[in-house]
Amino acid sequence: MIGLATVTIGTPEDGREFDWDGLLSHLAEQPQREGWVTLDEAVNACGVARSTLRSWYRSGQLPSRMVPGIHGPQRLVPLDAVVDRALRSSRVRRQLEHSRSLEAEVDELRRRLDAIERHLGLGLL
């Protein structure tokens, strides 16, 4: 006999059933998703490669968990922990310093361009 929240999957002969109540209770036991992001979201937020994130959670340097997603299970990581771990990485620090130096260089070039425009009288337009 099939329970209220059990659905037969496949043909009645193979008897495979899926326990929706069990899945719902398992999901209810999981911590809330707040602060946890997908690997793609972490990559976009921190600029760390997906392979680096995988290395970090596989080696225990970063907590992670699997949750059901629309295309199957997906891995979540806490964004705060990713940021903290990324900032301890010398490679990520160098990348940040390089991007900051590029920003400073662009600012300097803008100042020079403004001075040239003022000198040529173009800044009055």
Q: pLDDT higher for 32 or 59?
A: 59
The answer to pTM > 0.75 is: no
Q: Are residues 2 and 37 in the same domain?
A: no
Higher pLDDT, 77 or 24: 77
In a shared domain, residues 72 and 112: no
Please indicate, yes or no, whether residues 75 and 43 belong to a single structural domain of this protein: yes
State whether 21 and 61 are in the same domain. no
Q: How many domains does one find in the chain?
A: 3
Q: What is the CATH number of the domain that holds 56?
A: 1.10.1660.10
- Do 94 and 112 belong together in one domain? yes
**In a shared domain, residues 6 and 38:** no
Do 71 and 94 belong to one domain?
Answer: no
The parent domain of residue 121 ranges over: 90-125
- Are residue 20 and residue 62 in the same domain, yes or no? no
Beta bridge partners of 18: 7
In tens, the pLDDT along 57-94 reads: 999 999 999 988 888 889 999 998 998 898 888 887 77
13 & 37 share domain: no
